[in-house]
Structures are given as C-alpha cells and as structure tokens.
Amino acid sequence: MNPRRRIVPVFVPHLGCPHQCVFCDQRIISGQTLPVGPDDVREALRSAQAVTAWAELAFYGGSFTAISSDLQNSLLEAAQPFRRSGFLTAIRVSTRPDCIDRECLDRLAAFGVGTVELGAQSMSDRVLAASGRGHLAEDTVRACALLREQGFRVILQMMTGLPESDPETDLYTAKSLAELRPDGVRIYPALVLRGTGLAKMLERGAYRAQSVEDAVNTCAPIVRIFCEGGIPILRLGLHPSWELEDKLLAGPYHPALGELVYSRLYRDEAERQLSARKRLPDEVTILVPVGELSKMTGKGKANLIWLRDRFQLRQVRAAESGDLSPGALAIKGKSE
C-alpha cells in the first residue's frame, strides 16, 4: 500500500490482451504470475485494514475492461463489503482507450468505480502504429468524452520516446491530452525491457533509446503544458524497483527523473528572466518557494554553475522565499 495516498494496488496481469505493445513486458510477467482473483482482492484489502482506517482500491497493470465480464464482476464484487463498511472510499481501474463503451461503464459505475485511467500513450497515429498499440488517437478522444458524460474522473497516461516519435510529437501529444481536460496525467518515458518488441528493435538498430538527458529535455516542456493548464501530474517516470532494474536494457531510467525535470524547469525560468534583463548584475540570488531549493540548485549545484557560466556572472546563489507560489521564481541582483 502506498502509505501517503493509501492506495491498495491489485495488479491484473496481461489476461488475454490481444495486443502486443512494443514496450510491454506483461506477456513475460504473465508466464510467471498467477492470475488474480477475488480472493486476492479480499486479502489485499484485509491486509490494508490492519494498518489504515480507509483506503482506495486500484486495479493496475493490465486492461481491466478488456478482461472477461465475469472476472471483472467477481473482482469488483469482492470489494463491495469493504465499500459498504466505509473502509473503501474509492475504486479505480486502468485500461485501454478502445476498451471503453457504455456497457462497461455502466458496470464500473454500478460497482462504485469512480476513476478510470486510460493508457493514451500518444496522440500520433503513426507513433501508435509503430508501437503496436492497436488503437487510434481518436479512440482516446471518444473514450474521454464517454467517461466525462458518465461522470468518471479521468487520468491519462502518455509515453515519450516511443518509436517514430520525437520531442515535437510528444509535445503535440501533451497539448492534445491537455485539451481533453483530464483530472490528472502520468508521464512515462519509454524504457527498453528485456524480451519486449522494443528490445528486438533496439537489437536490430531500428530504435534508439533516449538518454536521461533526452528525456529531461523532452519532458520539461510537457510538464510546463500540464502545469499551465492546471492539470495535476500524478507521476513522472516509472517507480524505481529492483524488478524493473533487473529487466532494464536501455532507456532513460532514473530513480528521481521527476526531480531532474522540475530542476530543468527552474533553470529554464531563471535563464529566461536573466536573458530579459538589459544589464546583468555581478552576483545573483535566485529566490524560490519554500521547499523548492534543491530543485533550483540541481544536483551538485549544477543549475547554479550552468547559469553562472552561461551569463558569465561572478556568483549565483539560491534561497527560499515565503512570498512565492509553487513554480514561481524571482531574481535579486547585486553589482559592485
């Protein structure tokens, strides 16, 4: 369970998914994992009851609405006593955009599911095809409209660095998703995991994996789009785990990728403000909101050193200010 958000995750493996997305390792996992059933749901919720007074149940990992309706019903039914007792405050599922229709939404609503996470991944049909997704961008638009119409909260997931994509295509995806006004987004730079289609493409030279620096450069403007649109970013980069590290062949894996991207955004904003000045002071202090100091300074003060060298300043410092709102930045200068 995630102690901060009290999420009880239940992973629904590949379970008959007819697709084979190039980045997906579910088929590898499914050979080793027992299928999930109602007892797993009950057990996960009972364990959570031992440590918390309330929780949210999340079916992650596969395409929930693509599994058989009998299994969907039994998994959701198993959660109902916990919902009736007040322990379970919400249920969410993740699925594919082309696996949403009125019938499945009626089922989800009847069992108290309030949030649906859609793996949109890209809004470019070329990228979707090259990634073996098996759906089109318009499926995401249609699914969002249906979900909204029926009163669900919608979380959209996107992947950067997929085959046939570039930073412009990924930015286009972010803008298109922001226009759909989701209640939140998750951003995942593509990683190459052992045994996947992407690994084969990498091996034959048909795919170039992004570096961490590439991913930071790609994700920074995407994060800006969502922040400016007031859309919460629930996650940036996959959660670090030893299983992931064990399967990782290539790609922009970093345990604190989000921190790196936010750090880049602070550096960009400081650069913008300094560039706009007619005369530059010798010494600069960059003020950031309380709690954001490490993002501004960057690892090993990398941002401050970069700004000092870029503008040929004698010294660049960073300090916290209680007067600034999140993401804002102010610059004070001192000249001899």
Of the two residues 117 and 292, which places its CB atom closer to ligand SF4 in the complex? Answer: 117
Q: How many chain residues bind ligand SF4 (CB under 6 A)?
A: 10
DSSP state letter for 2: B
Residues 48-67 interacting with ligand SF4 (rule: CB under 6 A): 62-63
Minimum gap (Å) between residue 211 Cβ and ligand SF4: 23
Minimum gap (Å) between residue 128 Cβ and ligand SF4: 11
Of the two residues 94 and 169, which places its CB atom closer to ligand SF4 in the complex? Answer: 94
Distance set, CA 229 to CA 136, 232, 269 (Å) = 24, 9, 17
Q: Is 186 in the site for ligand SF4 (CB under 6 A)?
A: no
Minimum gap (Å) between residue 313 Cβ and ligand SF4: 47
Task: Tell me the C-alpha distance between 33 and 36, whole Å.
Answer: 9
Is-contact 263 184, C-beta < 8 A? no
Q: Is 267 in the site for ligand SF4 (CB under 6 A)?
A: no
Q: Is 14 in the site for ligand SF4 (CB under 6 A)?
A: yes
Minimum gap (Å) between residue 26 Cβ and ligand SF4: 4
Window of 11-19, 47-55, 143-151, 268-276 that interacts with ligand SF4 by CB under 6 A: 11-19
DSSP state letter for 96: -
Distance set, CA 7 to CA 67, 82, 109 (Å) = 22, 14, 19
Q: Is 36 in the site for ligand SF4 (CB under 6 A)?
A: no
Task: Tell me the C-alpha distance between 235 and 2, whole Å.
Answer: 13
Minimum gap (Å) between residue 198 Cβ and ligand SF4: 11
Of the two residues 67 and 219, which places its CB atom closer to ligand SF4 in the complex? Answer: 67
Q: What are phi and psi of 310, to 5 degrees?
A: -60, -40
- Residue of 8, 12, 21, 187 interacting with ligand SF4 (CB under 6 A): 21
Of the two residues 185 and 318, which places its CB atom closer to ligand SF4 in the complex? Answer: 185
Question: E strands along the chain, which residues?
Answer: 7-11, 55-60, 88-95, 113-121, 153-160, 184-189, 192-193, 233-236, 248-250, 283-289, 315-321, 330-334
Q: Is 17 in the site for ligand SF4 (CB under 6 A)?
A: yes
Is-contact 188 157, C-beta < 8 A? yes
Of the two residues 30 and 273, which places its CB atom closer to ligand SF4 in the complex? Answer: 30
- Residue of 6, 20, 42, 306 interacting with ligand SF4 (CB under 6 A): 20
46 contact partners, CB below 8 Å, separation of at least 6? none
Give CA 94 to chain center in angstroms: 13
Residues that bind ligand SF4 (CB under 6 A): 14, 17, 19-21, 24, 26, 62-63, 96
